[in-house]
Amino acid sequence: MAQNIYDQDEFFNGYRRLSRQVTGLDSAPEWPALRAMLPPMPGARVIDLGCGFGWFCRWAREHGAAAVLGIDLSEKMLAQAQASPHDPAIRYQRGDLETLSLAPASCDLVYSSLTFHYIAALERLWAQVYAALIPGGSLVFSVEHPIYTAPSHPGWVVDEQGIKTWPVDSYQVEGPRSRTWYVPGVIKQHRLISTYVNLLICLGFTLTRLEEWGPTDAQINATPELAEEKERPMFFLVGAKKI
């Protein structure tokens, strides 16, 4: 049974105030790198797994996608997505990615931002994704980087000289991690980079790009708080294709 933390009032009231949720994709610093991995949008049939407020669903339509299906477990997230001006080519569906079935050969792009690290049955889900893509179709996604998800007590350590480090323990121990993020007990799944990559290879995907995202100098100049993201990668971005 999946944890539906985004429907918990206290969690949702914190999460919805994140700038990336208030103003959308341009406030997500990793978005330019993820966008660069996307195939051309015109005419594409797109599925967004863990669509949240639907920011990417609307972006895909604005850039020419023919049809977009946004799937999410959270009623509150979907309600916010559906509060945007109606577009008959965007369909939002409540669904649990742990048990989801997708129609075979039904789409050109499966996109997912910061959702797969919540999923325990990832191999099952990605097998569905592979079958749902047409030959030549793309899977583009981001997850929290394994260096970020691994530690049993995540957090910066600052020494006497002000040097920040991110201690990593338990890296080889895959599985659930309980985090305090707005509320205690938020469950995320830690996996090795090699596990993500080997799962994709075993399913038949061809990797097209990997990014261990870090801010550019221009981003740090514009938003100095991003400088600490140079110390360790927070996001792992992947582009893959079904050949």
Closest CB to ligand SAM: residue number: 52
User: Is the Cβ of residue 103 or residue 201 nearer to ligand SAM in the bound state?
Assistant: 103
What is the Rg, in whole angstroms, of the alpha carbon atoms belonging to the chain? Answer: 18
Among 44, 60, 68, 73, binds ligand SAM (CB under 6 A): 73
User: Is the Cβ of residue 115 or residue 138 nearer to ligand SAM in the bound state?
Assistant: 115
Is 115 a binding residue for ligand SAM by CB under 6 A? The answer is yes
Is 228 a binding residue for ligand SAM by CB under 6 A? The answer is no
Residues 85-114 that bind ligand SAM (CB under 6 A): 96-98, 113-114
Q: Per CB under 6 A, which region of 32-40, 51-59, 149-157, 170-178 contacts ligand SAM?
A: 51-59
User: Is the Cβ of residue 118 or residue 130 nearer to ligand SAM in the bound state?
Assistant: 118
Q: What are phi and psi of 149, to 5 degrees?
A: -85, -20
User: Cβ distance 34 to 237 under 8 Å?
Assistant: yes
**Residue whose token pair is 């577009």:** 87
Among 30, 72, 108, 229, binds ligand SAM (CB under 6 A): 72
CB of 7 to ligand SAM, least distance (A): 8
Nearest to 115 by CA among 95, 90, 136, 135: 95
Q: Per CB under 6 A, which region of 46-54, 82-90, 167-175, 182-190 contacts ligand SAM?
A: 46-54
Site size toward ligand SAM (CB under 6 A) is 18
H-assigned helices in the chain:
9-15, 19-22, 31-35, 55-62, 75-82, 122-132, 146-149, 193-203, 217-222
User: Is the Cβ of residue 167 or residue 185 nearer to ligand SAM in the bound state?
Assistant: 185
CB of 100 to ligand SAM, least distance (A): 7
Is 74 a binding residue for ligand SAM by CB under 6 A? The answer is yes
User: Cβ distance 138 to 108 under 8 Å?
Assistant: yes
Name the burial class of residue 173, with classes exposed (0-12), middle (13-18) and buried (19+) by CB atoms within 10 angstroms of its CB.
exposed
Strand partners, 206: 241
Give the CA distances from residue 6 to residues 12, 14, 52, 73, 76, in Å, rounded to whole numbers and listed in that order.
Answer: 5, 10, 9, 8, 7
Query: Which residues of this protein are in contact with ligand SAM, per CB under 6 A?
Result: 2, 6, 50-52, 55, 72-74, 77, 96-98, 113-115, 118-119
